[in-house]
Amino acid sequence: MASGLFFSHELYEVKLNSDASVTDDHARTGGIIRDCNGDVLLAYSGSGGTRSVLYQELKAIYDGLLGCEILQKRQILVA
């Protein structure tokens, strides 16, 4: 990988980082999509839904992939 790059631009267009949180009184998701230089292309967050950690983690990834679709990015590193 070339010095100064956030990730290899030869393999991926963007990197998707997502996360979720579940407590007794809330369930939240969010994430960020960056280009190979680390510049933010899109950030997102949400709340609600079932209080299952697995469900919320998968929802965070799904919402991020929808964001990639909006940005018309197809080569995605999900981390």
Give CA 36 to chain center in angstroms.
14
- pLDDT value, residue 9: 74
Do residues 62 and 44 touch, judged by C-beta distance below 8 A? no
User: Considering the entire predicted model, what is its pTM?
Assistant: 0.86
- pLDDT value, residue 3: 57
pLDDT for 2-11, tens place per residue?
A: 556 777 777 8
- pLDDT value, residue 1: 47
pLDDT for 9-29, tens place per residue?
A: 778 999 999 999 999 999 999
**∠ at Cα 42 (38, 75), nearest 5°?**
70
Strands lying side by side in the sheet with 14-22: 40-47, 27-34, 14-22, 76-78
Domains of the chain and any CATH numbers: 14-78 (3.30.420.10)
Do residues 20 and 59 touch, judged by C-beta distance below 8 A? yes
